[in-house]
């Protein structure tokens, strides 16, 4: 039996869509946002981001982003909201 290193889950969300203009970060239509998924690490999110970006390489206005959701859900700072 070996020692296991427990890593803290750091949720990242990958989303993307067509931007109104490449000079700003406003989506053309929020109802058409592509929610790629939620991932437990930056590495997993990066891999998903890269795959989505490669699939849409021919669309110059389409961009994908990694949101560091764990920073919005930090119980230490109370920066989270319950609905």
- In tens, the pLDDT along 20-69 reads 988 888 999 999 999 999 999 999 999 999 999 999 999 989 999 999 98
Decide if 16 contacts 62 (C-beta within 8 A): yes
26, 43, 47, 72 alpha-carbon torsion, rounded to 10° = -30
What is the pTM for the complete model shown? 0.75
Q: Who has greater pLDDT, 50 or 78? A: 50
Decide if 25 contacts 3 (C-beta within 8 A): no
How many CB atoms neighbour CB 12 within 10 A? 22
d(CA 7, CA 66): 20
d(CA 22, CA 3): 48
Asked whether residue 76 carries a pLDDT value surpassing 50, the answer given is yes
| pLDDT given for residue 77 in this prediction | 56
């Amino acid at each position: 039996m070996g020692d296991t290193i427990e890593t803290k889950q750091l949720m990242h969300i990958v989303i993307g869509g067509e931007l109104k203009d490449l000079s700003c970060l406003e989506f053309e239509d929020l109802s058409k946002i592509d929610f790629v998924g939620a991932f437990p690490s930056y590495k997993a999110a990066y891999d998903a981001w890269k795959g989505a970006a490669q699939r849409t390489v021919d669309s110059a206005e389409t961009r994908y982003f990694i949101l560091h959701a764990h920073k919005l859900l930090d119980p230490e700072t109370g920066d989270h909201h319950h609905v």
